[in-house]
Structure 1
Amino acid sequence: MVEKTYSGNDIKVLKGLEPVRLRPGMYIGSTGKTGLNHMVYEIIDNAIDEHVNGFCDTIRVTLNEDDSIEVEDNGRGIPVDIHPTENKNTLELVMTSLHAGGKFDKKAYKVSGGLHGVGASVVNALSEYMEVKVYRDGKIYYQKYAKGVPQTDVIVIGETDKTGTVVKFLPDKEIFDDGDITVESRLIENRLKEIAFLNPNLKVIFEDRKRDYRQEFHFQGGLNEFINYILKRRKMNSISEPVYMYGSYQYSKVESEIQVEIAFVYTDSEESNVISFVNNIRTIDGGEHESGFKQALTRLSNEYARKYNVLKEKDENFSGEDVREGLLAIIHIKMPNPVFEGQTKGRLGSKVAREAVNQITTEKLSLYFDANIKEAKNIFERMFLAYKKRLAAKRARDSIKRKTIFENTTLPGKLADCTSRDLNESELFIVEGDSAGGNAKQARDRMYQAILPLRGKILNAEKTDFLKLLKNEQVSNIFTALGTGIGDEFNLSKLRYGKIIIMTDADVDGAHIRTLVLTLFHKYMRSLIEEGYVYIAQPPLYRFEVGKQHFYLYSDDELEELKKKYGDKKWRLQRYKGLGEMNPDQLRETTMDRETRKLVKIKMEDLEMAEEMIEILMGYDPSVRREFIESNANKVKELDI
């Protein structure tokens, strides 16, 4: 109960790193996998900053078997002298104070992505332990911390002819959801690969000791090689080589310079993909630098398309959508004191970055269009096709709008709706098959769980024309039930359910149906995934009975553990190959009951990797799909035929 009196006695003063442990999400974004991965990125960013400023050419990142993480660079090494005003060793100050570091002025770092005083100290506060070794001045310096508190003084533990810093930390189980401190190795590796592409003179070594896996990245081709890496699963369309632009922009602040580097190409995809970075930090939510590029590209494309007579006088201008269809672009800017929105640096808010990128794009792209007329015309012809397709689709939508499901307020007949209209509790289960759908309808809580059965496989949204999708019953049932519309008509505010749960059999067909539904969401309703509304249900693989006890098992590892535990007793095993094999009570207990079920939230943290996988599995090129299946066939433990 809140006390009526309110005085100075009620004000708690948090000292040192206490605020970080009290509200970790404010500093690393979340206490789930996203925040855990972000801790690793913060330490990596500090190592990268040493390279960007000319003091490091090799970075090594190791994921250890005990879930600790080690990041080593051969830069200058964090200073270990006594700080002149704080009367404390500088290393300890940097690792234990929120606002201490060498990046708050331009003396030690011209540009930087991380801030020693925020990133490293936050990671320290949220770690069970952290150990730092500094190689400099011919000596090896060492200090250890526990939950941000020094356990030793800064001591000398040896001699060396190296320079650099090694940071090793074990995330604190108390901080993270369910005590899970295993970082996502694939995402860390992908981040390091991006860094190597962005820094052609840098060697990056990645090792995951749990998997006995090691990779070394060194890409001297820079952004052009980055573009070609992404394109390895796609076909180039309008131009044979990426357009590359580089320039620097001086602005009003004394000695302030923004370096702009851009590479782009057009593909055969209908989607656009703009990937942006600031000081090697991935800006997943874009920002001012992306806006500057898009504005300049649209303006110049219209200007030169008319100059080269691709757009006639009677034609409207290309829209931004026309210009960006099929576009794959990578933008990397380096600037002092970038302003990010949020501690996790997802979006760049610096207005001057828009001016810089706009100016450099205008200057360099004008030169390209003037010097490469044939290539430029190919680009504009591709834009013109997108322009005509957009107008045709608009006319088609307008002509059939009254007859389409966009104005149809009748819910699908197969939908068993729930009573609640509260997004905080309502759920839609998209269920594979009528049989499983019937079980789910009996197993559900009618108050807040709705059921929509799917009959067979839905259309592949990656390969199907948009207007054909609109007329497909399975697809139209999905987005009519959701209430949002689709494509240009999509409106997230009209969503009828707070959770969309895809529930399919635990076999190959079930996985295929999940992929088809996710492909539909990914292409036409992406906000559902980006905003965290989409989940995958996890039905059990086995029911294990021993005596009067029974257990539901979700993996072969769990099964092996129980076999060992009960090897000297009689037990019975039931393998569930389909949802229809469970009775409604079992389906409720294992897969639908909020207290006992397991759900996996679908995330878009790494959009390119998700898009690449969808293109492999659902795209046009069967040879790419065959190559993927052949290369991964040895990983299949059990195959349902």
Structure 2
Amino acid sequence: MKTLSSLEHIRLRTGMYIGRLGDGSNPDDGIYVLLKEVIDNGIDEFIMGNGKLIEVSVKDGSAKIRDYGRGIPLGKLVECVSVINTGAKYNDDVFQFSVGLNGVGTKAVNALSSHFRVLAIRDGQYAEAVFERGALKSQRKGKLKDKQKDGTYVEFTPDADIFGEYQFNLEFIERRMQNYAYLNTGLTLNLNGKSYMSQHGLHDLLTEEIGDDGIYPIGYYKGEHLELAFTHASGDNHYGEEYFSFVNGQFTSDGGTHLSAFKEGFLKGIQTFFKKDYRSEDIREGTTAAVAVKLKSPVFESQTKNKLGNSDIRGWVVQEVKDAVEDWLHKNGEAAKKLELKIIANEKLRTELNVVKKEAREAAKKITLKIPKLKDCKFHLEDGDKGENTMLFLTEGDSASGSMVSSRDVMTQALFSLRGKIENMYGKKRAAIYKNEELYNMMMALGIESDVSGLRYAKIVIATDADFDGFHIRNLLLTFFLSYFEELVTNGRVFILETPLFRVRTKKETRYCYNEKERDEATAALGSQSEVTRFKGLGEISPKEFGQFIGEDIRLVPVSISTLKAVPQVLNFYMGKNTPERRDYIMKNLIDDAG
């Protein structure tokens, strides 16, 4: 039997408190959760009417955060950052709409940092404490020499013993700062000297996301506990739906009851206004919307708060959204007309698509009941914990998949091999998928025909050769996903597999290198007698060797886009018609291989 102190428990069972470790290459990685926990305290102060500025500095693997709230009570400073279940957030009168209700936040940051310093300032007095891995190293109190505003300052360095070689990606942090600003109008956040603020909340978020692509002006409503914004994007650039959902300032990337209630209320509001029983898919196709709720006791399905579980909120959210949407349409007649035309156009497209779908299904039945070129795995995304590590590798040709078939984990790793270059789907209607046997089979293998929520694998991994043909196939696949299923990319489901470019070996040792720098380091370490091989394609790596590159040490690069409005321009430039601009770009960036 062993009883751990609370901070020891956090270090031993890190996943229970921050969800995942990671090295900083994914926005949900633990180092960002640590940063968020500290900033959330400043946000909570702002919500309670204390302080309108939060300053954040992130560099060289460390973070510094200064808020201008009331400051942690000086006599309770050490307990507040090191004793679990100590804090003011259990008192409803003090914090009504806090995200960090479990009293763990800052304690987890403290326990998981090799250096953690906290300074509280109140009425000209200060208290300071310095910790290492949760252990108190020094503390002091006193009177400030120079007058400073009340508030709390925290600096921390995530512990490399726990997080390994990590790196903060400023793009992820900038995105989070912008979200904080949208959700807290009147608050200014500074990150490394750059300011983020918003005057119009979620309205600003949608404006930033879709730019001029909305077919009618953004609909907006703000109540006491609910804020929402919505529009429909033109079908030429956006298929499917895109939602941004938040609870008490926390971005819920996996949605939850507030998002499903919003969708239901949105549907009912539109049906009631037009007095027509339009189908939900015709109303929702092309929707881009954002919803934020404030709750007294949010219940999240995990410590990282990606999905809300409160079932008791459904009724009032549905009703308030329905009333808000209906009211907005009454006041905006021109927008209502454009929305109805969009719904009718969606109906027409769906009917046309159903005919094509039927023909494609009949053709598919004739071929075989199984999906050709798919080597499936045992578990899938719907299998709960067992499905969380599932992935589908999209490979080119049979040679690459040959190595993978014998070295993959048959429980969680599936393979779909492409015959070669797929069709460029830029600018084509969705019906075109059904006329392309390979893309149709890939869509069915992924399970996303009706809706991306049917996705069968946690990760879609593009595994092509690191040569020009491989890069071209990668671009064609990304064009396909961004054209028809962009939610897969925005939800962080699409990755690129990194495979070694070089093998450096002697008779005693073999090292695999992913770039020239690693190759040079390996050659220096193994000596001049070492033999260097460059891999041109995945098929050159033997099955015996390949296992290690798709096993525990797999290197995946997440595919991300900064905003939805960037997608049409990027696809048009790289995958559209040959323009003078693109020719100039190619000429400027040509690399002379002959030398």
SS of equivalent to 1:264: strand
Moved more, 94-103 or 455-464: 455-464
Match of 1:191 among 176, 179, 184: 176
Sequence identity percentage? 28
**Partners of 1:489 and 1:194 in 2: CA distance:** 26
Give the Å deviation of 1:260: 1.6
Count the aligned residue pairs. Answer: 575
Q: Structure 1 counterpart of 2:218, which letter?
A: P
Is the contact made by 1:204 and 1:218 (CA closer than 8 Å) also made in structure 2?
yes
Out of 31, 39, 57, the position equivalent to 1:36 is 31
- 2:554 pairs with 596, 599, 621, which one? 599
Shift of 1:202: 1.5
Pick one of 394, 401, 412 that aligns with 1:430: 394
What SS does the corresponding residue of 2:110 show, helix, strand or coil? helix
Counterpart residue identity of residue 428, structure 2: T
Check the 8 A contact 1:519/1:614 in 2, yes or no.
no
Indicate the residue corresponding to 1:7 in structure 2: none
Distance 2:590 2:152 in 1: 42
Query: Are 1:298 and 2:267 counterparts?
Result: yes
- Structure whose alpha-carbon radius of gyration is higher: 1
Give the structure 2 partner of residue 53 of structure 1.
Answer: 48
Residues 616 and 628, structure 1, Cα contact 8 Å, conserved in 2: no
CA contact (8 A) 1:405 1:476 kept: no
Closer, same or farther: CA 516–440 of 1 in aligned 2, 3 Å:
same
Mark the CA change 1:286 to 1:561 in structure 2 (over 3 Å): closer, same or farther. same
Question: Which stretch shows the higher mean deviation, 126-135 or 398-407?
Answer: 398-407
The alignment status of 1:289 with 2:258, answered yes or no, reads yes
Alpha-carbon distance in structure 2 between the residues aligned to 1:595 and 1:365: 48
Equivalent position SS for 1:381? helix
Pairwise CA distance, 1:639: 8.2
Does 2:220 align with 1:244? Answer: yes
Query: Shift of residue 502 of structure 1?
Result: 2.9
Pairing partner for 1:618 from 555, 571, 575: 571
Higher mean Cα deviation, 346-355 or 18-27? 346-355
Q: Which amino acid aligns with 2:450?
A: D
**Is the aligned partner of 1:326 residue 2:286?**
yes
2:201 counterpart of 1:227: no
Query: Which letter maps to 2:198?
Result: F
CA distance in structure 2 between the partners assigned to 1:397 and 1:344 by the alignment: 39
Letter of the aligned partner of 1:79 in structure 2?
A: P
> Structure 2: which amino acid aligns with 1:201?
G
Report the secondary structure of 1:151's partner residue.
strand
Q: Find 1:167's aligned residue among 154, 162, 170.
A: 154
Q: Show CA shifts across 1:264-309 (max 9, x none).
A: 1211122211211122111222223223322222112112223xxx
Distance in 1 of aligned mates of 2:83 and 2:314: 33
Task: Give the distance between the partners of 1:498 and 1:291, measured in 2 at CA.
Answer: 21
What residue in structure 1 maps to residue 433 of structure 2?
469
- Tell which deviates more after alignment, 536-545 or 292-301: 536-545
State the superposition RMSD in angstroms: 4.2
Query: Structure 1 residue 24: deviation in Å?
Result: 1.2
What corresponds to 1:253 in structure 2?
Answer: none
Distance in 2 of aligned mates of 1:630 and 1:54: 55
Change (3 A) 1:124 1:272: same
CA distance in 2, matches of 1:186, 1:129: 24
Q: 1:485 to 1:330 in 2, by over 3 A?
A: closer
- Other-structure match for 1:23: 13
CA distance in 2, matches of 1:519, 1:390: 22
AA partner of residue 14 (structure 1)? L
Q: In the alignment, which residue of structure 1 is the partner of 2:329?
A: 369
Specify whether residues 467 and 511 from structure 1 end up closer, same or farther in structure 2 by C-alpha distance, changes over 3 A only: same
Query: Structure 1 residues 595 and 265, CA, compared in 2 at 3 Å: closer, same or farther?
Result: closer
**CA deviation vs aligned residue, 1:436-475 (integer Å, no higher than 9, x gap):** x336526752785886543443234564333321231332
Q: Which amino acid aligns with 1:369?
A: L
Distance 1:397 1:143 in 2: 65
Is the 1:95–1:116 Cα contact (8 Å) retained in structure 2? no
Q: Note the 1:406-425 alignment, pairs <5 A.
A: 408-412=368-372, 415=373
Q: For the Cα contact (< 8 Å) 1:546–1:571, is it kept in 2?
A: yes
Whole-angstrom distance in 1 between the partners of 2:36 and 2:592: 37
Counterpart for residue 74 of structure 2: 80
1:186 maps to a residue whose letter is E
* Residue matched to 1:392: 352
The unaligned stretches of length 5 or more in structure 1 are 1-9, 82-89, 208-213, 249-258, 312-316
In 1, are the aligned partners of 2:209 and 2:563 still within 8 Å (CA)?
Answer: no
Structure 2 vs 1, CA of residues 136 and 640 (structure 1 numbering), >3 Å: closer, same or farther?
A: farther
Partner of 2:160: helix, strand, or coil? Answer: coil
CA contact (8 A) 2:426 2:575 kept: no
The two structures have a TM-score, normalised by structure 2, of: 0.82
The answer to which of 323-332 and 619-628 deviates more is: 619-628
Change beyond 3 A, Cα 1:491–1:220:
closer
Instruction: Give the superposition deviation at 1:372.
Output: 2.1
Alignment CA distance shift 1:498-1:112 (3 Å): closer
- SS of the residue aligned with 2:274? helix
Change in CA separation of 1:623 and 1:575 when aligned onto 2, cut-off 3 Å = same
Aligned to 2:231: 265
User: Equivalent residue for 1:94?
Assistant: 80
The letter of the residue matching 1:438 is S
Alignment of 1:234-633 (within 5 A): 235-237=213-215, 239=216, 241-248=217-224, 259-268=225-234, 269-306=238-275, 311=276, 317-398=277-358, 400-404=360-364, 408-412=368-372, 415=373, 429-432=393-396, 434=397, 437-438=398-399, 441=402, 445=406, 453-460=417-424, 463-479=427-443, 482=445, 485-488=447-450, 501-518=461-478, 520=480, 536-544=496-504, 551-559=511-519, 561=521, 575-576=534-535, 578-579=536-537, 583-585=540-542, 589=545, 591-593=546-548, 599-601=554-556, 609=562, 614-618=567-571
Instruction: Give per-residue Cα distances to partners, 1:520-563, cap 9 Å, x unaligned.
Output: 46777789889998653322234457898764321233245457
Query: SS where residue 139 of structure 2 aligns?
Result: coil
Following TM superposition, by how much is the alpha carbon of 1:130 offset from its aligned partner in structure 2, in angstroms?
Answer: 1.1
CA distance in 2, matches of 1:297, 1:127: 44
- In the alignment, the residues of structure 2 paired with residue 167 and residue 627 of structure 1 have an alpha-carbon distance, to the nearest angstrom, of 52
1:138 CA displacement: 0.6
Which of the residues 105, 114, 124 maps onto 1:128?
Answer: 114
Structure-2 change in CA distance of 1:148 and 1:216 (3 Å)? same
Contact 2:393 2:460 in 1 (8 A): yes
CA-CA distance at 1:216 after TM superposition: 2.0
What is the SS of the residue equivalent to 2:6?
coil
* Cα deviations by residue, 1:364-386 (Å, 9 ceiling, x for unpaired): 33332222222212112211221
Aligned partners of 2:270 and 2:325 also within 8 Å: no
Alignment CA distance shift 1:429-1:106 (3 Å): closer
